[in-house]
Amino acid sequence: MVTRIVLTVWLLEAALCGQSDRGSKAYESLRAGSYQDAIAQFQQALKASPANGAIHKDLAYTYLKIGENESARDQFAEAMKLDPADDHVALEYAFLCYETGERATARRVFDRVRKTGDAASRATAEQAFQNVDQPLAEGIARWSQAIELAPNDPSAHLELARLSEERDELALAAEHYRKAWQLRPTQRGLLLDLARVLVADGKTEEAKAALLAASRGSEPRVAEKAREQLPARYPYVYEFRAALQLDPANLDLWRELAYLLLIMGDKNAAEHEFRAIVAAHPEDLHSAAQLGFLLLERKQKAEAMAVLETVLKGKDENLAGRVRAIVNAEQTQAATMAERSLDAGYLKDALYYLTIASESSPIDYALMLKLGWTYNMLHQDAEALQWFDRARRSPDPKIAREAAMAYRNLTLPQERLRVTVWALPFYSSRWHDMFSYGQVKTDFKIGKLPLRPYLSLRFIGDTRGTAPAPVAWASPQFLSESSLIAGGGVATPAWHGLTGWAEAGMAINYLNSPGVNRAMPDYRGGISASKGFGHLLERPSGGFFTETTADNVFISRFQDDLLLYVQNRFGYTASPLKGLGGFQTQLLWNSNATTDLNRQAWANFVEFGPGVRWRWAAMPKGVSLSVNFLRGVYTRNEGNVQRPNFFDLRAGLWYAVTR
């Protein structure tokens, strides 16, 4: 076992002596034994001088004083980067790597110092290296013998692979991770281990094959980790083939390759793959159906019907119904089939038929627009951009306008400057008042900064200002903040409908209300989430839908309160009525809840009731009208001057646009 021989206390005292002329508060705190204060002051010093290796070392030794070895290790790592010739720092870092479980890194550093350091450091590093390396070498020899006796023992291969990886015998590690995976193909995490070793050995293409195979597996956690390590682009055909050589039983991976070839227009190669899939997996009815469709397109009806017959007799009634609907159909009917697939939500089928239709009608801009939307709904935005780009050149103004807007919306996240305007004016029968909320926000993209800074101007107000007190002893109630709020902040990019933000500004009360400061600092921030499923408003087809929006907001002016708003809607969206200018309605049910951290009566209630939203196709995208009839119940009535229950009819307009 490796024993640390560096005299931490002596070195720390030496550092203090060397820095005494600085008069630093950090060193004063160290002498007083105030280690947490010293750490905070060292961290501040590093912000001003991040390339100061001495401060990194002193901070590392301070962390050691309080037993935070991992933090100390990280600071020694920074110091070692700044001065690679400092053998003492390198040894400290290596010992801490070993103690915190990073044995492979510790071994590499000891190996370097024992070859290049000064005499004393070489001796220390040599002993430490042997203490690390010899057990690894012995373990490798022991497990190699075990594998000779039991070559099909996956645990033995796995242990040998891990020991070899720690000893930097990367080729040996990769060999036995691969054998362990072949013996235990259900443990898909072994593919991640294999990819890690291949990357370390410089074999990036083989590593991508392992990651691609892992990303199309049945273990969601492993698949997600693999996707995070893959390139942002969609995999190439040769990469799919390499992954299949490693994982030939991966049906999802194989089928995706066949679909990719089909989308690329290489129908002969796609047919070859679908034939092989059906032969190896006769239970895969989707592949059988696609093979049958390809054969129908080539006018090989007899063979196609023999393949499709298995689908028609299968247990997937939806798939069988789709096959029945297209048997004997000509290529000119592909656009109709695409519409049906879109209405039914079968996006991959819709993409297939739209691709066929576009081949026979290469200048049909309406088909181009539909292809763009279909790729967009399949989250294949690079392909969607190509089709929207073509469709926005349409001579039909309506198609060109819709395609141009879709193209801009997809490219907006990468634009350096964006301006977003939203407004929500509405009338409330409960308060007999007209309220309005709105914001103008300009945000900026700065290089590769993960956050977008922004400037904001908010408006929150109503027409009445106050309402009479419902009981004699209560004061009149302010119905809104009645303020203009100017501020600046930062926000995260949207991720699966989730956004975080923080903002500081000044709120100016435009009413000059008695007892209320005209101008007050305003600090707010939070997390916003929104998600919708099904046939949402502005979609070209009707059907059921559900929507959820949630906002968790901190507002300093509300006694540093943290509020949570959750709004849920579900219902039915009617298809646009072409005879009425594209009029579209949505019948829905509201289920809302509000609560706060300070448990104030006004901020704790639930609401539910029916509503309707509508719009016309001529309206700008992002505009809709609504009427909702709600029944509300306060969930906290201590100090509540209102009735515990209420009814409210709300009618309003929503407008949002980004440029």
On whether both 473 and 570 belong to a single domain, the answer is: yes
Residue 3 falls within a domain, yes or no?
no
| Residue 142 reports pLDDT greater than 50 | yes
Contacts of 619 (CB under 8 A, 6+ apart): none
Instruction: Identify the domain boundary among 413, 431, 456.
Output: 413
Range of the domain at 575: 415-658
Instruction: Identify the domain boundary among 413, 442, 462.
Output: 413
Residue 430 DSSP symbol: T
On whether both 434 and 527 belong to a single domain, the answer is: yes
Joined tokens for residue 593? 């809840």
Strand partners for 655: 423, 623
Residue 238 falls within a domain, yes or no?
no
**Mean pLDDT across the chain:** 83
User: Which DSSP string corresponds to 170-187?
Assistant: HHHHHHHHHHHHHH-TT-
| Residue 642 reports pLDDT greater than 50 | yes
> Under DSSP, is residue 448 helix (H, G, I), strand (E, B) or coil?
coil
Phi and psi of 512, rounded to 5°? Answer: 55, 50
Phi and psi of 120, rounded to 5°? Answer: -65, -40
Contact indicator for 112, 90 with CB cutoff of 8 Å: yes
Most confident of 179-183, 308-312, 460-464, 576-580: 179-183
**Which pLDDT value is given to residue 22?**
38
| Residue 509 reports pLDDT greater than 90 | no
Most confident of 23-37, 173-187, 287-301: 173-187
Measured distance CA(17)–CA(12) in Å, rounded:
9
On whether both 437 and 353 belong to a single domain, the answer is: no
On whether both 431 and 408 belong to a single domain, the answer is: no
On whether both 349 and 449 belong to a single domain, the answer is: no
Q: Is the dihedral of CA 353, 358, 361, 366 positive or negative?
A: positive
On whether both 404 and 424 belong to a single domain, the answer is: no
| Gyration radius of the chain's alpha carbons | 33
Residue 396 DSSP symbol: S
End-to-end Cα spacing for the chain: 63
**Which pLDDT value is given to residue 137?**
84
Contact indicator for 86, 109 with CB cutoff of 8 Å: no
Measured distance CA(506)–CA(517) in Å, rounded:
11
Helix axes 204-215, 237-246, angle to 10 degrees: 80
On whether both 548 and 590 belong to a single domain, the answer is: yes
Measured distance CA(47)–CA(623) in Å, rounded:
46
Measured distance CA(219)–CA(233) in Å, rounded:
22
| Sequence-ordered alpha helix ranges (H) in 281-380 | 285-297, 301-312, 317-326, 334-344, 347-360, 365-377
| Residue 298 reports pLDDT greater than 70 | yes
Using alpha carbons, select from 497, 424, 431 the residue that is nearest to residue 458. Answer: 424
**Which pLDDT value is given to residue 356?**
67
> Under DSSP, is residue 633 helix (H, G, I), strand (E, B) or coil?
strand
**Which pLDDT value is given to residue 335?**
66
> Under DSSP, is residue 320 helix (H, G, I), strand (E, B) or coil?
helix
Average pLDDT over residues 188-195: 89
On whether both 337 and 455 belong to a single domain, the answer is: no
Joined tokens for residue 39? 């750490």
On whether both 528 and 399 belong to a single domain, the answer is: no
Joined tokens for residue 38? 């010293």
Q: Find the range with the poorest average confidence among 22-36, 363-377, 406-420, 471-485.
A: 471-485
Average pLDDT over residues 196-206: 89
pLDDT tens digits, one per residue of 215-273: 887 788 888 898 889 988 889 999 999 999 988 888 889 999 998 998 888 889 988 99
Burial 259-293 (b: 16+ CB within 10 A, else e): bbbbbeeeeebbbebbbebbeeeeebbbbbbbbbb
118-123 LR contacts (CB < 8 Å, sep 24+): 118/87, 121/87, 121/88, 121/90, 121/91
Residue 20 falls within a domain, yes or no?
no
pLDDT tens digits, one per residue of 1-12: 444 434 343 344
Contact indicator for 55, 49 with CB cutoff of 8 Å: yes
Indicate the helix (H) or strand (E) that contains 544. Answer: strand 543-555
Average pLDDT over residues 410-420: 76
Share of residues in the chain with pLDDT > 90 (%):
19
On whether both 483 and 615 belong to a single domain, the answer is: yes
Residue 148 falls within a domain, yes or no?
no
CA atoms within 13 A on the CB side of 131: 18
**Which pLDDT value is given to residue 147?**
87
On whether both 585 and 633 belong to a single domain, the answer is: yes
Contact indicator for 440, 421 with CB cutoff of 8 Å: yes
Contact indicator for 287, 255 with CB cutoff of 8 Å: yes
Joined tokens for residue 296? 């129908």
526 Ramachandran zone, left/alpha/beta (phi>0; psi -120 to 50): left
Contact indicator for 89, 79 with CB cutoff of 8 Å: yes
| Residue 199 reports pLDDT greater than 60 | yes
Instruction: Identify the domain boundary among 379, 413, 447.
Output: 413
Residue 166 falls within a domain, yes or no?
no
Could you give the number of structural domains in the chain? 2
Average pLDDT over residues 322-333: 61
Q: Is the dihedral of CA 25, 28, 32, 34 positive or negative?
A: positive
Phi and psi of 571, rounded to 5°? Answer: 170, -145
> Under DSSP, is residue 157 helix (H, G, I), strand (E, B) or coil?
helix
**Which pLDDT value is given to residue 455?**
93
CA atoms within 13 A on the CB side of 314: 23
On whether both 420 and 385 belong to a single domain, the answer is: no
Measured distance CA(330)–CA(232) in Å, rounded:
38
Contacts of 382 (CB under 8 A, 6+ apart): 233, 234
Residue 494 falls within a domain, yes or no?
yes
The CATH code of the domain that includes 607 is 2.40.128
Residue 268 falls within a domain, yes or no?
yes
As a 3-state breakdown, the chain gives helix, strand, coil percent values, each rounded to 5, of: 50, 25, 25
User: Which DSSP string corresponds to 18-71?
Assistant: HHGGG--HHHHHHHTT-HHHHHHHHHHHHHH-TT-HHHHHHHHHHHHHTT-HHH
Measured distance CA(379)–CA(296) in Å, rounded:
29
Measured distance CA(151)–CA(144) in Å, rounded:
9
**Which pLDDT value is given to residue 465?**
67
pLDDT tens digits, one per residue of 110-119: 888 888 888 8
346 or 634, which is more confident? 634
Residue 106 falls within a domain, yes or no?
no
**Which pLDDT value is given to residue 265?**
87
The CATH code of the domain that includes 364 is 1.25.40
Contact indicator for 176, 157 with CB cutoff of 8 Å: yes
| Residue 519 reports pLDDT greater than 80 | yes
Indicate the helix (H) or strand (E) that contains 240. Answer: helix 237-246
* Burial group, residue 446, by CB count within 10 angstroms (0-12, 13-18, 19+): exposed
* Residue 421 CB neighbours (<10 A): 15
